[in-house]
Structure 1
Amino acid sequence: MTAQRNRDTAPELALRRALHALGFRYRVDLPIPGMPRRRADVTFTRWRTAAFV
């Protein structure tokens, strides 16, 4: 299981590059309150929205 990447995978990086180019600001690998052992890939804190890739 250590060979599986938890973050910075190719699809995730492509999504982050596109979002940044469009001017969106986000947090990466943010823990989700109330859900232990779960982290959102991309989180828009301003809109309280999470994206999982």
Structure 2
Amino acid sequence: MKITVKELIEQLKKEDQDLEIYFGGLDFYRLKDRGGHLQVEFNQLVYKDDDGKIVVVND
């Protein structure tokens, strides 16, 4: 699922600004512009395999 930065900000504005964001056990690293797409990066490698399943590699 893709959403725009504007949509994400609108959703976040509704929340208590002191809440922490939980990424399901992933460690947030940074946001990176990837040629018109903003990518959320984590310290773990996260990708879909050939069957469409999410794979997380935590070295």
TM-score, L = length of structure 1? 0.27
Indicate the structure with greater strand content.
2
- Rg comparison, structure with higher value: 2
Q: Give the number of the structure whose residues are more often helix, by fraction.
A: 1
